Amino acid sequence: MSFIRPEARAALWRWREVLAALPVMALGAMWLSGFGLLQIVGGVVLLAGVVLAFIGWQRARFRSDQAGPGVVQVDEGRVTYFGPLNGGAVDLREVTLVSLDPTSRPKAWLIRQPQQPDLQIPVNATGAEALFDAFATLPGLRTEFMLTQLNGGADHPVVIWQKDIPRLH
């Protein structure tokens, strides 16, 4: 028996990293008000709490309700999607393009790899939150841009990241 409504529990779970960072920041602030070496330690702990809260805030903005079709797995640089109608796998080191298609229902990530069909993953597929860390490994990815596009109201597909391919003139 639970005393928390399922919607409230889902909201708390979505923001779990931010909520976990709050006591760390409070402890750091308390120690910061001390004196001597305790102030230095308190400052470091407070800074660590702020960093954890910021990272948790970004992750919470990336997460969705997890009620979509299919399952996503990320294992050692390989993203695998098992969907009801399609699926596939891509190696992150070979990815050339990541885009977001907000016109798809539900919204979907489109991941392109040479000589392979594009992999389309619904943003609310089970395990899709693991894509945040996977995408973060892509060199030059602008996380804030990705989160803005994901939570914004774009009406056309948007390129989130593209590999810099040297071109011969």
Could you read off the pLDDT of 138-161 as tens digits, one per residue? 998 888 888 888 888 678 898 989
Name which of 113, 119, 123 is nearest 147 in CA terms: 123
109: phi then psi, degrees, rounded to nearest 5: -85, 140
Question: How far is Cα 79 from Cα 81, in angstroms, rounded to an integer?
Answer: 7
Q: Does the pLDDT at position 23 exceed 90?
A: yes
CA distances in angstroms from 22 to 45, 58, 68, 151, listed in the order given: 11, 15, 31, 24
pTM to 2 decimal places: 0.72
Answer whether 113's CB lies under 8 Å from 90's CB.
Answer: yes
Q: Does the pLDDT at position 163 exceed 70?
A: yes
Instruction: Express each pLDDT in 2-17 by its tens digit.
Output: 788 877 877 787 788 8
